[in-house]
Structure 1
């Protein structure tokens, strides 16, 4: 790994500085005190009165692909074992609600709810409330078979097919205003329901009986089950919504069908989850999760004191944590399902010339960016991030044009008017306003490298939020800085959503390729995994050969995790995963050992 750059002494996280933070934190909120009190309460068994009175359903088999095995039952003792409590940070603001069905960005905890499928740490769909599913040969008709459980919602109600039908009709209703509604636009009449007020009964989702859902799509989508594992497609409990309206997810009202139920929620201070005894799978290895609402600085102090098992690290604290000898070994860096890229407008000079476009990929030292930002951006050479199906390794021959070689970049310019640096026209890089400290460092260094290695004169244009969509729609840019957050974890969420002419977000790009378009359509319907990945590799080859974009880096999150957290989600490469926007089962994979110092 490259050496990290030196950091000024005032950025070091010294014990004296932490003690100062502790004093300051005492005045910020009472959330940390709540954590301490909860830890004291956790030393006694969970009272039986906290559990619903209804009898839990019989044990069901756990699919080996999805979830860890439950703990062995301890031998009877005179003193019941205390509950296993996980103290989770990462919430700097109070959730708006826990109603993911109405707003995927509500800021709540998605592990309260269970969908038809869940995504595992490899972002693959595995059974949740649907125990099986099948599709027609063209991937346009899907049938999901639910578990025949007597109960599942935390009040003892069964989870039935009608719950999902009603929830998706509610999500698509114009009056709901759910920002994630486009996730279902592939379903027959979903767009008409959402945008034209069509009768929800026309939606191509039907409950054939209590345990069977049929879904018809407008176009073939072989990846459709992946969408159903996203937080935005989790169900809502209809009786609770109808009884309490927008406040149905408040403590004492919230009825959930996931591994957890909401036990307490002190607005602005903390909320507590406990096991949902009616959830179909008993493999959860923690009994209670306490989540305080803490400002970033106070969260770090609370973790340092040992009162949190997991804490997020804010951008302004990252360098201090990286260099601290105590905290640095506890730092975990999962990749986010996102990428930073440069998009080149082939209709605007100087990027109307292929050699110029190709030169950019050779002129950027991504390892330097990695060091500059304390690993906030790991080098990217292709569109799909590591850990997601469709990622290409750096040494893939089709990515050779992204390897840093400024001499080769300058040789590419020899066939253009820009071999003479004085011939460059003014070049503007458009970026959405509101860049954070680390992203701004990335942008400014990319500009510096292109100027130094190619002689290209660049200026940064920060586009106001209200004008950003117009820039994308009209192609009002020469060079575009874009952070692309994958809306779902599949190659089509990048290749089709960014570059296919009928579906791309950058409508004004002005580039199209008939072979690329045919490959996108083929990938939509192909069900064989290996053949499908080969299709998207060819999509990447076309984009690389024509130099339509330049991959810069994959964003990397930062969390502190205590040594006694024995297990957390990891993909098949062994890399940590989540918590993030797309992976909503982080706590399911957590197990804790004996607490100690650290």
Structure 2
């Protein structure tokens, strides 16, 4: 509703009150509640089938309802589905959709929309980074790999409000996946009407608590409350602005000036000052994710030289990174799957218990064995990272370690978020790229599946190992939880042995949160949909 119309409506209402002899003060006007959120980078896309980054996911949690949704406290609650049934063998899930569910244009959300959307994700024509996310659905993997037709996917609309999913094997984490954007429904009619333009303001219709009204590149994204959402009456915030701000110092200045209620990140250079001067607003908490570097294994010398990969991995001093460079409560990482993973024991290599001096000595031995370093061939390495001060500082520190310890000549290459994602995913980076993975659901599979040889662009380094893939495939159809955990642990040990990535640290979430923001609760997956927040006047 435009501000002009709000003003006119207020004048009309006030006139009517005076005419009846009532006092205007007896019916105070309710001020619009507006939330301002920092959001890191300019979003890659709002198409839930094609996005891949955290900045996009924050927007999509407001725009879309999955079958389940995060409640902002670390739990998942009924979303587009009011309830569901699971067959005795764990293979068939029947989701009973809300009968009052509507798209933001007022049209009904139906089971046919869900069937269309899930098929769209696994359709090889879509080229979705997250196509593999639905491979546990019957025939989905074969469809993505071109071996079966789209219509064979194990999804069907029993009727307009009943969505049935058949899995290829019992999957204990299946429900916890369903808050993720790859599983969202889009309006079939909307996509077919606008094609690739369906995500633009004025075109996009969504089923979440908010709807898109503005998207100004490098400025802001504006959403307003969706009046058709089933919980609109309990949604406190009327309007939310998201601001892409890659410069974290600038974001902090906006927060301190009262222009933001919450930041996306916290600049490393200000950590000590913030701890001392703004401890109530500084929020640091464990975060279910791993920060790592990935070598480009589509190219030599990375493809076939494991000794070289391990040498660079060992020479990274994780303690310096987390204690001196970042200073934000992260934990050094030597493996991929983070702590607090359900039904899983971390597979930590022996060298994690060595001193850094021992790791450095082994790194020097290995780089010489690989034919590089002092007395060998010169090695020049380029580190690619997306434009952000924290990533730059980590890259500088690691470059210095490699240069001083191993004689490697290192150059840095930073790219804007969208360009970076394309370069990284298409494996067009020269040597090493920054990467990070935030768990989409609490299961080791969500991390390890990323390293399969058939996963496509999401595979960070293009690592490919038939035995690793076999272990993952067997784990995916194993119902016995202990046996399944053992298979996943074998797979992680193998990728560590083959140095598929260089783990650096396990994440912590870090935000500045205004005391005016009500309902913000730190949680392991750092999920905070606007629907469950409020702001003080």
Q: TM-score, normalised by structure 1?
A: 0.65
* Pairwise CA distance, 1:340: 0.8
Cα distance in 2, alignment partners of residues 415 and 243 from structure 1: 61
- 1:408-427 matches, within 5 Å, as 408-409=358-359, 412=362, 418=368, 422=374, 425-427=377-379
2: CA distance between counterparts of 1:447 and 1:436?
A: 16
Report the CA distance between 1:207 and its aligned residue.
Answer: 0.9
Q: Please state whether the residue corresponding to 2:406 is helix, strand or coil.
A: coil
Is 2:230 the partner of 1:279?
Answer: yes
Relative distance call for 1:280 and 1:198 in structure 2 (3 A) is: farther
Consecutive unaligned residues in structure 1, runs of 5 or more: 1-36, 48-76
Matched with 2:48 is 100
Report 1:135-150 matches (<5 A): 137=89, 141-150=91-100
Does 2:298 align with 1:370?
A: no
Indicate the residue corresponding to 1:87 in structure 2: 35
Partner of 2:473: 521
Which of 530, 533, 536 aligns to 1:587? It is 530
Q: Evaluate the alpha carbon distance shift between residue 327 and residue 246 of structure 1 in structure 2; reply closer, same or farther with a 3 A threshold.
A: farther
Q: Which residue of 1 is the match for residue 79 of structure 2?
A: 128
1:570 pairs with 2:528: no
Q: Secondary structure at the match of 2:255?
A: helix
Deviation at 1:560, TM superposition (A): 1.9
Cα gap change, 1:524 to 1:211, in 2 (>3 Å): same
Post-superposition Cα deviations, 1:139-166, rounded to whole Å, max 9, x if no partner, equal 6x43232145344444554433212012
The answer to whether the Cα contact below 8 Å between 2:296 and 2:303 also exists between their aligned partners in 1 is no
Deviation string 1:208-254 (CA, Å, 9 cap, x unpaired) is 22333233456775544444321233212344445566565666765
SS, match of residue 38 in structure 2: coil
Q: Hey, what's the Cα distance between the residues in 2 that align with 1:402 and 1:117?
A: 38
Q: Are the equivalent residues in 2 in contact too, given 1:89–1:299 (CA < 8 A)? A: no
State the match for 1:232 in structure 2: 182
CA contact (8 A) 2:437 2:447 kept: no
| 1:442 equivalent in alignment to 2:394 | yes
Deviations 1:452-493 (A, max 9, x none): 5xx4222336689788678699xx96xx45514358444223
Q: Please state whether the residue corresponding to 1:310 is helix, strand or coil.
A: coil
User: Are 1:114 and 2:65 matched, yes or no?
Assistant: yes
- Give unpaired runs (5+ residues) of structure 2: 14-24
Count of matched residue positions in the alignment of Structure 1 and Structure 2? 496
Q: 2: distance between equivalents of 1:496 and 1:175?
A: 22
Per-residue CA distance 1:523-569 (angstroms, 9 max, x = gap): 31345666644543444445556666542123556432112324324
TM-score (norm 2): 0.71
Verify the 8 A CA contact 2:283 2:513 in the aligned structure 1.
yes
* Kept after mapping to 2: 8 A contact 1:401/1:544: no
Other structure's SS at 2:263 match? strand
Q: Is the alpha carbon distance of 1:507 and 1:323 closer, same or farther for their aligned partners in structure 2, counting shifts above 3 Å?
A: closer
1:350 and 1:196 map into 2 onto residues whose CA distance is 27
Q: Can you list the C-alpha shifts for 1:412-443, whole angstroms capped at 9, x where unaligned?
A: 57987959985555445454465644334323
Query: Are the equivalent residues in 1 in contact too, given 2:237–2:531 (CA < 8 A)?
Result: no
Residues 182-221 of structure 1 deviation map (CA, whole Å, 9 limit, x = unaligned): 4345545556766769864444321122333233456775
Q: For 2:215 and 2:434, how far apart are their aligned partners in 1?
A: 38
User: Residue deviations 1:44-66, cap 9 Å, x none?
Assistant: 9xx9xxxxxxxxxxxxxxxxxxx
438, 442, 445: which one pairs with 1:492? 445
In the aligned structure 1, how far is the partner of 2:318 from the partner of 2:95? 47
Tell whether the 8 Å contact from 1:86 to 1:288 is kept in structure 2 after alignment: yes
CA distance in 1, matches of 2:177, 2:338: 18
CA contact 2:461–2:500 (8 Å) conserved in 1: no
| Residues 219 and 432 (structure 1), Cα distance of their counterparts in 2 relative to 1, 3 Å cut | farther
Residues 589, 425 of structure 1: alpha-carbon distance in 2 compared, 3 angstrom cutoff: farther
CA offsets per residue over residues 287-333 of structure 1, 9 Å max, x none?
32331547557654443233432233475xx5246525555642334
**How do 1:216-295 residues align onto structure 2 when only pairs under 5 Å count?**
216-217=166-167, 222-241=172-191, 255-262=205-212, 264-265=213-214, 267=216, 271-274=222-225, 276=227, 278-279=229-230, 284=235, 286-291=236-241, 293=243
Deviation at 1:134, TM superposition (A): 2.3
In structure 1, the residue corresponding to 2:214 is in which secondary structure?
strand
Q: Report the counterpart of residue 561 of structure 1 in structure 2.
A: 513
Q: Do the aligned partners of residues 87 and 248 (structure 1) sit closer, same or farther apart at CA in structure 2, a change above 3 Å counting?
A: same
Q: How many Å apart are 1:341 and its aligned residue?
A: 3.7
- Match for residue 311 of structure 1? 263
Which of 73, 87, 110 aligns to 1:160? It is 110
